[in-house]
Amino acid sequence: MKIRGERECQRCGNRWSYYETGSVACPDCGSQRSVGLEERREHTAGAESLDLQPAREALESEPLTTVARVGAKAAAEFVRQYGFIHAGDLQALDSVFLAATELRHVGTELARSIRVDEQAEAYFLALLDGAKDGDRPSPAAVPDSLCSAHGLAATSAVDDYRRDVIRYLEEHPDEQARRVLGVIDDHRTRIEALDGNVSPGEAEALIDATRAVGTALRDEATSIDKARELLDELDPNDSRSGE
């Protein structure tokens, strides 16, 4: 939605940026009465941080399935409030969002599991440990039991980013980018239809292609050809790479 970022409190006169706080309430006096002072800009980004401390604390006394549920819930809340347009500017598909999305899917999968093998447990704990800093285990480390969760996490992150890019393109038209996004969505739909059961490398390639579209839109010196190349590698028989 479009929001006036700079705001002024009608009670105490304090000024602040909604883009930074995510709230119309005055950070000084708490008053809800404020007015916007600049033109409206598209803004979908949230101001929340990824808080995994409750899940880490649960490790000391709770079974892994409970820790997974707590971690997945925290990650889901973070992802729900996240967006990729900040004050009219398109942001990157960043590593913290990707890690949180994967933690959400992997945690949900483990929370409902009767038995969790050692590889899956180690993978989840690595995600839990690194997600706040945007660190994820390598695709080669994904155990077979979590391939579906990993693949669905990739399609979910790609879809969230794609929706904001399409919104961004309404005011910054780029037909090449729109066509490439269409091909990306075809691959996303295919992987979802397979319940995420593709190789971790294929899921990561879809993420990389999506990131490349964002990079091309944010940096005029960067060509969208990188996204096309990644899509060709993802499916060499697909001639619809956005040409």
For the stretch 156-189, pLDDT in tens is 999 999 999 999 999 999 999 999 999 999 999 9
Assigned domain for 47 exists: no
**Strand pairing partners for 9?**
34
Average pLDDT (105-123) is 96
DSSP E strands in the chain: the ranges are 2-4, 6-9, 15-17, 34-36, 40-42, 85-86, 89-90
Question: Distance between CA atoms of 103 and 136, rounded to whole angstroms?
Answer: 9
Q: Are 22 and 132 in the same domain?
A: no
Assigned domain for 230 exists: yes
Assigned domain for 243 exists: no
CATH code assigned at 26:
2.20.28
C-alpha closest to that of 213 among 135, 161, 153, 150? 161
Q: Are 157 and 213 in the same domain?
A: yes
Q: Are 129 and 168 in the same domain?
A: yes
Q: Are 79 and 147 in the same domain?
A: yes
**Strand pairing partners for 16?**
7
Range of the domain at 23: 2-41
Specify the pTM.
0.86
Q: Are 228 and 191 in the same domain?
A: yes
Confidence of residue 1 (pLDDT cuts 50, 70, 90): low
Write down the mean pLDDT value for the chain.
90
Assigned domain for 115 exists: yes
How many C-beta atoms lie closer than 10 Å to residue 237's C-beta? 5
- How confident is the model over 211-242, as pLDDT tens digits? 999 999 998 778 899 999 999 888 544 434 44
Q: Are 73 and 32 in the same domain?
A: no
Quote the tokens at residue 156: 């979910």
Phi, psi of 17 (to 5 degrees): -105, 120
Q: Are 70 and 91 in the same domain?
A: yes
Q: Are 32 and 59 in the same domain?
A: no
pLDDT at 36: 78
Assigned domain for 48 exists: no
Q: Are 197 and 107 in the same domain?
A: yes
Confidence of residue 16 (pLDDT cuts 50, 70, 90): confident
**Strand pairing partners for 86?**
89
DSSP readout, 118-183? Answer: HHHHHHHHHHHHHGGGT----GGG--GGGHHHHHHHHHHHHHHHHHHHHHHHTTS--HHHHHHHHH
Assigned domain for 60 exists: yes
Domain count, the chain: 2
**Strand pairing partners for 90?**
85
Q: Report the percentage of the chain scoring pLDDT > 70.
A: 95
Q: Are 181 and 64 in the same domain?
A: yes
Exposed e or buried b per residue across 159-183, where buried means at least 16 C-beta atoms within 10 angstroms of its C-beta: ebbbebbebbbeeeebebbebbbeb
How many C-beta atoms lie closer than 10 Å to residue 60's C-beta? 7
**Furthest C-alpha separation in the chain:** 63
DSSP readout, 43-55? Answer: ----------HHH
